[in-house]
Structure 1
Amino acid sequence: MKIDLTDTTSSRINAALIRARRAIGTPAVGMVLTLVVVTDEGSAYDALKAAGDASREHPSRIIAVIKRPGRSPRDRASARLDAEVLVGADAGTGETVILRMHGELASHAESVVLPLLLPDAPVVLWWPEAGPPNPSIDPLGRLGQRRITDAASAEDPVGAIGTRADTYAPGDTDLAWTRITPWRSMLAAALDQKHSAITAATVEGEAYNPSSELLALWLADRLGVAVDRKVTDGPGITAVRLYTADGDICLDRPDGRLALLAVPGQPDRHVALKRRETSELLAEELRRLDPDDIYRTTVAFAVKHLIGDPGKGDHVEAPAPAKKASPAEKTSPAEKKAASAK
């Protein structure tokens, strides 16, 4: 069921939601969270489709915020709210409210969204395109326990990782990080089988790919080794190589679908490692609403060791932690001189 509302208010939208639920015979609200999608008109269709698919696993009230501030001073001075209310088959397993905010109202989106949030339910913010510089202090971002951005959609994807690192707050996450979950799981499983010490590593992937950068930083942080970034034609991440004294552990995925895992002393085997749809990434993030501590430590590591510009084909290293000094190295020159005099 679809209801169009022109020049409306939040209270009228809430009343329309109640009428629509009663009309289709489902007055009870069985949704587990509110997902607020902040997007533009050009990206709204794809974003709402991904959110609707994710709601099959997490029944949600989806609120799409589309801002139209206008170009002329007259347009910016005016304020109007138009809405579409979708319930039932048109909205997947939950409800969808599409808000189009015109003029000055676009600068106060949080005042419109707040009355539409489900009571006593978590709130998740998602920016499918370039998100705000600091999501946790954004007026809409303050409404959510979880804030999801996507560095891959930014004009400078690698630079966006640095911005996320500088402004991180508990509850922040990025789909560039979610994309490497299968890679991290597969590499961790391979290291459980092979206990040789890792001496260095290489991450191969497309230029300006934020997921490649995050994977390199995660490996450097967790393994304490230098990690090179090698630029390839993609798609996405194409290979990870971990170097040991017994041979190389290699996870190679040249086609974006099937990977070959090679571990010294074991037969090579193929593993499924396809590039996932946005709806799958979003569904993964909605499974947990607590802070992601591993993401936090990785972006904290990035503050000190953020890799540079891999788009020029250079190998870029994420430095390993400094080696601890031995007792002899800790001895001061004065102490050494006194000892030699004895």
Structure 2
Amino acid sequence: MNANSNAVLTAPLSLEGDNSDGPPNMLQRIFRLLSSVHSGSDLIRLQLPPLFNLPKSQLQCYGESVYCTKTDMLSKCNNGETPLDRFISVIAWSISTTRPLIFGVAPYNPILGETHHVSRGTLNVLLEQVSHHPPVTALHATDEKENIEMIWCHSPIPKFYGTHIETEVHGKRQLNLLDKNETYVMNSPKLVIRFLPVPGVEWLGNVTIQCKETGLEAEICYEGNSFFPRRSMHRSIKGKIFLSSSSQTLYKINGHWDSTVTIKDVSSERVTIIYNAKEAISGLKTPIVKDQKGILPSESTVIWAEVSQAILQKCWEKAKEAKSVVEEKQRELAKERKLKDENWVPKHFTVSHSKESGWECLPNHKLVPPTPIVVTP
């Protein structure tokens, strides 16, 4: 597919997009799909039929969590008057990247070298799939006006455990407030897809946010239902903000990431709302294409355009054929590289890996350029 092919963009995941029940027979189809998979098995190489796919790539899902928000939460991170103000804003922004997922469907596994490039105002976001086995996605976002830079490196590792699939997201997220000389480092919660007793999708686990320059740190626990559903536990988060040097707790964090999150000052008992999901991630706008010819041929929305269009039209055989074409082309390119004894090199990132530090993805350029795909206010 070339750069002149029409990109297909779909609505971003938001509060309105949640449909955790799924189609009535979805659970039965999933069990048939996983019937040959053993408990504890690595699902990285499992290829889903289009019937189980969202009409978008995983790169788009990562990118949407950065460029699709109703309010400009990133600018607020940089504009806080004190280090504590900025740190609290970073926590709120980090929570906003958590989006409701739909039970029974998943995005496409990105192909090697696939990119996704979107602009929102002065914020430019670029993602690249820098490894296929294991899957590793790199993200670089810059806002020259606000002096903000973001660098992510994600490597999701899904495993099947009989009644559920658990995906640990290895790698780190880094947010740099350049004019403040502050770097915030954080990880991601893990994704759990439950089949029994009640089907559903949850973000679970511990997230740590740390700023060494200010000595501030936060621990946030994403909680959910361990077995039977309880409204009080559904999508709840708890945590604290403390000083790294002394472990002195400054604030306690409480709430639900799909509604509101508060902090309570431990000294004054004052409670403040720091995040409102309805204000941040409801009614999100779909990006638009301003210049079709300026889109990279490696762009997600171009590579998967025919597959996405067929899924939207519920033409499953056509979607299956189009998806097979994309995947077969990648297998042929991999064979060619092997015959030539060539290693694939990412275009936009320098990538390294070690047992000690895991995956590191450093951008090759200081700034991300604007793109023809934009999110309008």
TM normalised by structure 2 equals 0.24
Task: Choose 1 or 2 for highest CA Rg.
Answer: 1
More strand by share: 2
Higher relative CO (Cα under 8 Å, sequence separation at least 6) belongs to: 2
Which structure: greater helix fraction?
Answer: 1
TM-score using structure 1 length: 0.26
